């Protein structure tokens, strides 16, 4: 080989190496960042737990009592309490211990942002109450419940995931929290969330907040997204840190993380559960709802948060004779869709392929229009330390590495938006008209779709949605089927979901 040819080959190889390096550098700079093991303030959470468990032999507690908690439904837990196998105080202690050892450890799930310092005292009061009366007053009585950290609590901070509000305690509880307490629930703590319900940065991973860090999906930490924005609420339930949690949804924020973490997510009819005392994303659309291990547990939690009466004598054959519209898009997993239709038909349902034009109705792309006004109205009403969105932006810029690790371009967009809700009202009206026409013309009892792929229409229109676990796809990513029904048909929807759940048994466990 000539010397000239050798030089040419070396130059070509060098050029190739430099080109590959340039491409890799470009991808690193332009591709959205992935999740990282980031957890802030674990010591504070652990200290709050240790103070409450210091007089308890935790080894004996876990050995003897954990069996009555992990994998158990609320009904099974209540039965164990009645039979004297466990007390509400022991139940609460087991949950606290699991949070400490599974969630707050190094490379834990990081789904919990704060702990109620009085949880054990409240649980002991529930035990005293049941001894005095001989029975619990509601299904949620004595059951530990966690709340997404954009829901006001007077005895714990409500940060919405923002470092700026890590010490902010509203003067009173949100209405749904008041109702839960009235019905005897034990508020265990608050869950991490995608900061500001996933409205900070266009590249921020789901489940990340500047206040607590990154919540991870237990089925594939850093590999499978916990989804959002009620990420911590779903993870805490699937990891058996708490029997039930409460999340919030604007578009997909309950049903998406429920699907991704193989739990049940129920977003009820809009306004059927009070939104008073919840930091809004789009006030006109936001809805709170429970996340649980089963449809029945979700119904019990919904009753506890509203006072509504839902018959839990659910029918396993509720899908028989019903007409279900199947909504799909080109990007959906064809195999999962085929399996969904097959299962529904096996259960006696008629399935009809229906279309919902994804470009006709939008929710997420409208958040910026009213976010500043909704934020500032909330700040004025509940006393946030930063009364304007501009104040928050400036504060974040003072320490960007911690406070806005992924930037805040969406908050900046909201600051410069006009503040009118005409487009939001139009989207709500269009979604309602389209769904109403679809249900009437096709004589539908409900619609169904994979995960949260068609959640925008029912979210905008205020239709109730219920996600039920549906196993995993070929990549072992948990999947869910989301059903939606007409407004006010929450009990009917729960029956449809219960029927599907009972026959499919699609929930994955850790």
Active-site residue list:
148, 229, 253
- CA distance linking residue 353 with residue 447, whole number of Å: 10
- CA distance linking residue 245 with residue 34, whole number of Å: 26
DSSP tag of 204: P
Contact 175, 301 (CB under 8 A): no
> How far out from the chain centre does Cα 479 lie?
15
> How far out from the chain centre does Cα 190 lie?
12
84: left (phi over 0), alpha (psi -120 to 50) or beta: left
- CA distance linking residue 99 with residue 45, whole number of Å: 9
Residue in 50, 137, 51, 54 with CA at minimum distance from that of residue 88? 137
The residues with which 266 forms a beta bridge, in sequence order, are: 466
Contact 238, 262 (CB under 8 A): yes
423: left (phi over 0), alpha (psi -120 to 50) or beta: alpha
Q: At what angle do helices 88-98 and 119-133 cross, to 10 degrees?
A: 160
Residue in 160, 145, 152 with CA at minimum distance from that of residue 113? 160
> How far out from the chain centre does Cα 46 lie?
23
In the block, tokens 């992990």 appear at 70
- CA distance linking residue 280 with residue 76, whole number of Å: 35
């Amino acid at each position: 080989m000539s010397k000239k040819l050798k030089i040419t080959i070396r130059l070509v190889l060098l050029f190739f190496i430099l080109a590959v390096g340039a491409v890799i550098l470009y991808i690193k700079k332009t591709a959205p960042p992935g999740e990282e093991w980031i957890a802030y303030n674990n010591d504070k959470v652990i200290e709050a737990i240790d103070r409450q468990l210091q007089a308890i032999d935790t080894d004996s507690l876990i050995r003897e009592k954990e069996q009555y908690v992990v994998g158990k439904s609320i009904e099974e837990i209540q039965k164990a309490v009645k039979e004297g196998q466990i007390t509400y105080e022991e139940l609460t202690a087991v949950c606290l211990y699991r949070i400490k050892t599974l969630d707050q450890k190094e490379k834990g799930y990081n789904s919990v942002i704060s702990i109620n310092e009085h949880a054990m005292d409240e649980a002991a009061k529930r035990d005293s109450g049941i001894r005095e009366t001989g029975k619990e007053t509601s299904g949620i009585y004595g059951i530990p419940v966690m709340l997404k950290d954009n829901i006001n609590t007077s005895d714990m901070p409500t940060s919405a995931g923002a470092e700026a509000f890590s010490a902010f305690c509203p003067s009173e509880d949100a209405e749904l929290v008041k109702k839960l307490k009235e019905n005897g629930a034990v508020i265990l703590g608050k869950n991490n969330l995608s900061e500001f319900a996933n409205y900070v940065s266009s590249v921020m991973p789901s489940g990340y907040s500047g206040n607590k860090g990154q919540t991870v999906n237990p089925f594939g930490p850093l590999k499978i997204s916990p989804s959002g924005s009620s990420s911590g609420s779903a993870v805490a339930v699937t990891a058996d840190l708490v029997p039930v949690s409460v999340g919030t949804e604007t578009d997909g924020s309950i049903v998406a993380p429920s699907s991704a973490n193989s739990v049940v997510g129920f977003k009820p009819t809009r306004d059927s559960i009070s939104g008073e005392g919840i930091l809004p994303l789009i006030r006109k659309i936001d809805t709170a709802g429970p996340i649980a291990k089963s449809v029945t547990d979700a119904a019990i939690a919904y009753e506890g948060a509203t006072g509504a009466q839902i018959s839990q004598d659910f029918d396993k054959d509720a899908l028989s004779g019903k007409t279900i519209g199947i909504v799909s898009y080109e990007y959906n997993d064809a195999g999962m869709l085929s399996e969904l239709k097959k299962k529904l038909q096996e259960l006696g349902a008629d399935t009809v392929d229906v279309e919902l034009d994804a470009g006709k109705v939008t929710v997420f792309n409208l958040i910026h229009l009213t976010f500043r006004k909704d934020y500032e109205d909330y700040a004025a009403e509940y006393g946030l330390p930063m009364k304007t969105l501009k104040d928050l932006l400036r504060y974040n810029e003072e320490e960007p590495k911690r406070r806005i690790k992924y930037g805040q371009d969406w908050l900046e967009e909201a600051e410069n938006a006009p503040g009118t809700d005409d487009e939001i009202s139009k989207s709500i009206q269009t979604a309602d008209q389209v769904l109403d026409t679809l249900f009437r013309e096709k004589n539908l009892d409900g619609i169904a779709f994979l995960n949260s792929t068609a959640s925008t229409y029912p979210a905008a229109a205020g239709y109730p949605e219920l996600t039920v676990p549906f196993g995993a796809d070929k990549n072992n990513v948990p999947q869910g089927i989301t059903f939606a029904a007409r407004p006010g048909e929450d009990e009917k929807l729960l029956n449809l979901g219960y029927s599907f759940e009972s026959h499919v048994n699609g929930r994955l466990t850790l």
